[in-house]
Amino acid sequence: MRKFGLTTAIWKNGPLSYDAQHNKNWDSTYKKVSLRYLHNSQEVTDEFINKIKSYLTDTYYGISQNPDTKDYILVYSQNYINEYCKKCGNKYDTYYKWCKPCIINYLKDNFTNWTSGNEKIDNFIQEVQLKSDKYSKLFEWIPYVGFTDINEIRKGKYICITHEISLKH
């Protein structure tokens, strides 16, 4: 289980469902579900109840408790985990599973692992990275040695336009 407390499990008895046609309840056995552990939740306060309310979505089944740690656990449908970042537990911003807080933290943690060799350019890249709001808009330093088959198309006073055939990663 990850430290933020989001994981999956098999619910042996599954959720109760109501069959309106036959006017009876029926069980759904061995249902895969998502679990959100609420760490250090042994003491139930109004603040804790409000926290639970903030986690409720239309995909919840109920609440449980770990008998060893006494931590409470919210139980959701299996798809719940696909809507949330597996690293931090925050809800994704888009279909592409873009977790801005995790990407920003990753970029901050790796600022020192690359450099253009120019402090102003590096600061500019970092500034643009921290303002990024789309998975497809990540700006980065790309070392020139990563390009192959560079062909000059046109050269002007301030810019040289080239056409690259392929890029090695």
pLDDT tens-digit series, residues 87-138: 777 777 666 777 888 888 888 888 888 889 899 999 998 888 888 777 667 7
Closest CA to 62 of 25, 13, 21: 13
Cα end-to-end span (Å), the chain: 32
Q: What is the pLDDT of residues 9-55, one digit of tens each?
A: 888 877 776 666 766 666 567 778 888 888 878 888 888 888 888 77
Q: Give the C-alpha separation, 78 to 65, whole Å.
A: 18
**pTM for the model:** 0.52
User: Phi and psi at residue 82, in whole multiples of 5°?
Assistant: -75, -15
